[in-house]
Amino acid sequence: MMLKPHFYTKRFTNIKDEWLYDNNITLILADIDNTLVPYHQQGSQDLKGWLDHVQNTGTKVVGTSNSSSERVEKFQDQFGIRALSKCKKPRVKVIKRFLKEEKANRENVIIIGDQLFTDILCGRRLGIKTLLQLDPVERNAPAFKKGIWALQDRLLKHWGIK
């Protein structure tokens, strides 16, 4: 099932060192918008703490976003990690190019995000691990996206995840 995440958790801050070791993860591709930070803010203290924790295990964290490079550059400056803009998830081209550049072994890569139809589908297409964050930072999405959220909730209920 291309939309079903391998893993899920309430919030990315639940992802800890032991879990990363157990699952052989060395690279996290983390959705920025509405997963790591709310749309209209620049992030929080617990994100900084989590980045420190994860990076201390030798795991690399790279942001991914469908947003413009301007917003993504601000994020990079604030948190000191690389982030890929205009990813156009669920399309794979931008992230695929990055993984090639990194010579990353796909078994060791996970994508985390708040949306089945962008983040999880993208990860499934890439053949990497996928993790859905169940609590989006905020959900005031545009009206046209409400149907997508409703469908996502329906699928999660169907799978017994929510």
Distance CA 65, CA 34 (A): 10
Among 31, 62, 89, 112, binds Mg ion (CB under 5 A): 31
Among 34, 64, 65, 152, binds Mg ion (CB under 5 A): 34
CA quadruple 71, 2, 21, 15: dihedral sign: positive
Angle, vertex CA 9, rays to CA 38 and CA 62, nearest 5: 55
Of 21-29, 30-38, 55-63, 80-88, which segment contacts Mg ion by CB under 5 A? 30-38
Looking at beta carbons, which residue is closest to Mg ion? 34
Half-sphere exposure of 147 (CA within 13 A, CB side): 1
Which CB sits closer to Mg ion, 28 or 33?
33
- Give least dist CB 122 to Mg ion, A: 11
Quote the CA–CA distance of 12 and 135 in Å, as a whole number.
9
**CB nearer to Mg ion: pick between 43 and 57:** 43
Pair of tokens at residue 74: 């601000």
Q: Is 114 in the site for Mg ion (CB under 5 A)?
A: yes
- Contact residues: Mg ion, CB under 5 A: 31, 33-35, 114
